[in-house]
Amino acid sequence: MAGRSFLFIPGPTNVPERILNAMHISQEDMRAFDFPNFTLPLFRDLKKIFKTKDGQVFIFPASGTGGWEAAITNTLSPGDKVLASGFGHFSNLFIDLCQRQKMDVQALEVDWGEGVPVEKYADILKKDKNYKIKAVLATHNETATGVTSDVAAVRKALDEAKHPALLIVDGVSSIASFDFRMDEWGVDVAISGSQKGFMLPTGLAILCFSEKALKARLSAKCPRCFFDIEDMIKANANGFFPYTPAMIMLRGLRASVDMLLEEGLNKVFARHHRMAEAVRRAVAAWGLKLVAKEPKWHSDTVSAIYVPAGFDGNEVVRHANRRFNLALSVSLAKIAGKAFRIGHLGDLNELMVLTPITGAEMAMKDLGIPIQLGSGVAAAQEYLRKTAKDIKSLKPMK
């Protein structure tokens, strides 16, 4: 098909030219004497993205799933009780990983379209007088349903119960896209991946451990080798890695962090919110509903959109791909076929976000879904026009 392909899934996201250029380099010696001149500033600047002063960043050649495993195995032991909640495909996979590591997981089932049930967490933590729960899991952004949870509220529940459990947060599809405050929210382990807000190809699991989580490794008894942060701590201290790092990806990560800090994190977050709201305005104009049940659950990185009964949301995705060379995202597990997803994160501007709205409209119309062509596009355009001054008036803050 002539022309370019259009990628609007919730990861991997579009890779900017600046990052591609930074990665278009010859192989290099990862044990060169001056290598720490590159790595040590990168470690320091990544802490700014997580908004932490005392936390320690680790970069593994892996996906977000590898990040989950690194977080769990370095802080917990088989048999440890873990409090978690499943409200989408990926939060359930996080639970599954803990179960495979032989954790005693108290997994709360939550309706898809909602997020972490903070009130239930609070009640369970208050009743856990003997502190049997060793960790609390929170999926900050559930990619399958387009639902965001309140991590600060989970920390408040822990504090009010005076509970010492670790707070482990999956921020794979939130960190570097919308506000994440590791220190302020008392997060002990934060997990992210390169292919989302960091605007890179898949291949890096980027984590940050609090001092409390670093100490937990001393008693954690899960088997680990590749994901052992003990090896990372020793090598990273001098600017090196315990094994061959993904150097080309690290060069891209350096460019990514530079772009995020130059734009200013507040502007990055405001831009993502604005693009997401444009999509939400389009969905409303189509007369359709988001999977996220209430505005408090709305995600600023991905929108999952129900199609009317009798239609197949995954066929919308297939048709958009075949007919318009547009990659939208299918719905999974419990809602498979009932919805489709639009990813709106990473390197994204106004005209770009109108593309999946336009393509989705045409695909749905082709399949007989009763929407008015142009309605979603017009609603998004009007919102973007009216809010342009708001975003331009923001001063960048790191």
317-357 pLDDT, tens digit per residue, is 999 999 999 999 999 999 999 999 999 999 999 999 999 99
Statement to judge: residues 37 and 102 lie in one domain: yes
To 10 degrees, the CA torsion angle through 211, 212, 217, 219? Answer: 140
Residue 95 predicted with pLDDT over 70 = yes
Tell me, yes or no, whether 106 lies in a domain: yes
Q: Are the C-beta atoms of 174 and 180 separated by less than 8 Å?
A: yes
Angle at 56 between CA 52 and CA 57, to 5 degrees: 95
Tell me, yes or no, whether 398 lies in a domain: no
Q: Which residues on neighbouring strands pair with residue 340, listed in sequence order?
A: 305, 330
Statement to judge: residues 144 and 274 lie in one domain: no
- Residue 50 sits in a domain of what CATH number? 3.40.640.10
Statement to judge: residues 142 and 290 lie in one domain: no
Residue 280 predicted with pLDDT over 90 = yes
Q: Are the C-beta atoms of 135 and 94 separated by less than 8 Å?
A: no
351-390 pLDDT, tens digit per residue, is 999 999 999 999 999 999 999 999 999 999 999 999 998 7
Strands (E) in the chain, as ranges, are: 6-7, 56-61, 81-86, 104-109, 133-139, 141-142, 147-148, 166-170, 189-193, 204-209, 302-306, 326-327, 329-330, 339-343
For residue 315 the two structure tokens come to 């066929």
User: How many Cα atoms occupy the beta-carbon half-sphere of 287 within 13 Å?
Assistant: 9
Average pLDDT over residues 179-204: 98
Mean pLDDT of all residues belonging to the chain: 97
Residue 147 predicted with pLDDT over 80 = yes
**Which residue, of 239, 262, 285, is where some domain finishes?**
262
238-251 pLDDT, tens digit per residue, is 999 999 999 999 99
pLDDT value of residue 35 = 97
Q: Taking every pair of C-alpha atoms in the chain, what is the biggest distance, in angstroms? A: 64
Task: Tell me the pLDDT band of 2, cut-offs 50, 70 and 90.
Answer: confident
Statement to judge: residues 231 and 369 lie in one domain: no
Distance of alpha carbon 145 from its chain centroid, rounded?
13
Tell me, yes or no, whether 319 lies in a domain: yes
Our count of domains for the chain comes to 2
**Which residue, of 210, 235, 262, is where some domain finishes?**
262
pLDDT value of residue 325 = 98
Contacts of 317 (CB under 8 A, 6+ apart): 328, 329, 330, 340
Place of tokens 């060379």: 325
pLDDT value of residue 390 = 73
Statement to judge: residues 43 and 98 lie in one domain: yes
pLDDT value of residue 343 = 98
Statement to judge: residues 231 and 274 lie in one domain: no
Q: Which run of H or E residues covers position 189?
A: strand 189-193
Q: Are the C-beta atoms of 326 and 35 separated by less than 8 Å?
A: no
Q: How far is CA 181 from CA 47, 168, 359, in A?
A: 10, 13, 35
Statement to judge: residues 315 and 200 lie in one domain: no
Average pLDDT over residues 212-221: 98
Share of the chain above pLDDT 70, in %: 99
Average pLDDT over residues 77-105: 98
Residue 43 predicted with pLDDT over 70 = yes
For residue 206 the two structure tokens come to 């980027």
pLDDT value of residue 191 = 98
Range of the domain at 296: 6-12+264-392
62-90 pLDDT, tens digit per residue, is 999 999 999 999 999 999 999 999 999 99
Statement to judge: residues 78 and 185 lie in one domain: yes
Task: Tell me the pLDDT band of 1, cut-offs 50, 70 and 90.
Answer: confident
**Which residue, of 262, 278, 313, is where some domain finishes?**
262
CA dist., res. 334 & res. 287, Å (int): 22
Residue 392 predicted with pLDDT over 80 = no
Tell me, yes or no, whether 335 lies in a domain: yes
pLDDT value of residue 389 = 83
For residue 38 the two structure tokens come to 């590159």
221-237 pLDDT, tens digit per residue, is 999 999 999 999 999 99
Task: Tell me the pLDDT band of 203, cut-offs 50, 70 and 90.
Answer: very high
Q: Is 106 exposed, middle or buried (0-12, 13-18, 19+ CB in 10 A)?
A: middle
